[in-house]
Amino acid sequence: MAPRQSIITKEVIAIMYFEFIEYQERLRKIKEAMYKQGIEVLLVTDPANMNYVSGYDGWSFYVHQGVLVIIDRDEPIWFGRQQDSNGARLTTWLNDESIRGYQDDYVQSKLKHQMDFVADILKESGWDRRSLGVEMDNYYFTGQCLEQLRKNLPQTRIMDANLLVNWIRVIKSDKEIEYMIMAARIVENVMQTAIEAIGPGVREGDAAGKVYQAQIRGTPEYTGDYSAIIPIMPSGIRTSTAHLSWTDRKYETGDMVLLELSGCKYRYHAPLSRTVMIGKAPAELQDIAKVVIEGLNQTIDFIKPGVTAEEVEQKWREAIAGSTVAKESRIGYCYGLNYPPDWGEHTISLRPGDKNVLQPNMTLHVMPGIWIEKFGFECSEPVRVTDNGCETFVNFARELFIK
């Protein structure tokens, strides 16, 4: 499916994956949240939130960049490295006067900082006396960023606006769901590729290479994007922990292999986990797999609008009660649009104490991974909350795969 094309200033063609009206609705909700929190200017530096607000999509988040949302200005202002400015013209809905590039001497300099450039933008229009919300706890806003803003904007009241945009992103539009369905078709191919690639004598890295190829190759109808998380696919004793990946060793008979993979389209994800056993599965692994899969099934059946995140987790506990399986960490989280290093949205978590109420078009990765002393087991599902319950994005068998 081809994205919509829209002509913007100076005959530049911007490829946008959403209609202009959807960006306007997102901006309206963001400004409404800003107003409630007393924020007049919002500095958005999380690249997923930048994308959500403006459409900007580039591998440029290794330098400071962002979007300024001014409560009484129609358009946000994109700022970033000058050489990335045409990327903003090509991927956003913004007019040329809303795209501001800084010169290269701001990059990795001890003499000046990109937040000096941001401060100058605010001073130019008299916005430096307004309240400024910043995303204080995202990966891309550093302590130095905050210090430079405080130094350059002594009249500005700087406030924490962390997750302001993330919470608006929690409920997906129909078009966002469409892209996540595309990502789900990709991850079905990716997971099948991974399972087929695993076997005695195969190098872990070679299997991982096939996974990467499948992620980018996508489907016959459309290609995939890079995932926000690398293919997590440890084997043997390395399956006893959650976030390791491949090495240069070769798989051996008796290995267990954990697969936590994703499809991605237009930065929207569909994560999926499964476990592979090379050879006969030990009785303990078989027992854990049976309990986890049944618990996962019952938990998914329970998800519906109106229940809280902690009630979903409680259902999981009830489903595995009486077994030897124990899981103290959360069993899932909201996910969707994102960039490295995470496809999670950092909002809802399926765990005790999270009283957020589920609503239609929230998307959750139900992921009750188990890691014990000698090995682990993973089987997860990405789901969408519907008007009456929930539905899974992926059609892939929930079982312990034996090679």
Is the pLDDT confidence value at 5 over 70? no
Neighbour count for residue 122 (Cβ, 10 Å): 23
Domain endpoint, select from 125, 143, 168: 168
Same domain, 206 and 146: no
What is the Cβ-side half-sphere exposure of residue 202, based on CA atoms within 13 angstroms?
A: 21
Assign residue 306 the CATH number of its domain: 3.90.230.10
Count of domains for the chain: 2
Mean of the pLDDT values across residues 312-323?
A: 97
Contact 65, 71 (CB under 8 A): no
Same domain, 147 and 234: no
Same domain, 127 and 181: no
Same domain, 203 and 313: yes
pLDDT tier at 12 (50, 70, 90 boundaries)?
low
Assign residue 8 the CATH number of its domain: 3.40.350.10
Mean of the pLDDT values across residues 90-101?
A: 97
pLDDT tier at 15 (50, 70, 90 boundaries)?
confident
Same domain, 108 and 206: no
Length of the chain: 403
Same domain, 102 and 248: no
How far is Cα 263 from Cα 224, in angstroms, rounded to an integer?
A: 7
How far is Cα 3 from Cα 225, in angstroms, rounded to an integer?
A: 14
Cα dihedral 161, 162, 168, 174, rounded to 10, equals 140
15: tokens are 């490829």
pLDDT of residue 16: 87
Domain endpoint, select from 105, 140, 168: 168
183: tokens are 């990502």
pLDDT digits (tens, 9 = 90+) for 192-221: 999 999 999 999 999 999 999 999 999 999
pLDDT digits (tens, 9 = 90+) for 263-301: 999 999 999 999 999 999 999 999 999 999 999 999 999
Give me the percent of the chain exceeding a pLDDT of 70: 97
pLDDT of residue 6: 44
Same domain, 164 and 192: no
Angle, helices 174-197 vs 204-217, to 10°: value is 150
pLDDT tier at 71 (50, 70, 90 boundaries)?
very high
Same domain, 150 and 227: no
Domain endpoint, select from 168, 185, 206: 168
pLDDT of residue 13: 61
pLDDT digits (tens, 9 = 90+) for 26-70: 999 999 999 999 999 999 999 999 999 999 999 999 999 999 999
Is the entire prediction scored with pTM above 0.75? yes
Mean of the pLDDT values across residues 150-177?
A: 98
Cite the beta strand spans of 31-76 per DSSP E: 41-44, 66-70
Give me the percent of the chain exceeding a pLDDT of 90: 96
64: tokens are 């400071």
**Domain region containing 64:** 4-168
Is the pLDDT confidence value at 368 over 80? yes
How far is Cα 252 from Cα 276, in angstroms, rounded to an integer?
A: 12
User: Please, what is the average pLDDT of the chain?
Assistant: 96
Nearest to 14 by CA among 47, 45, 58, 48: 58
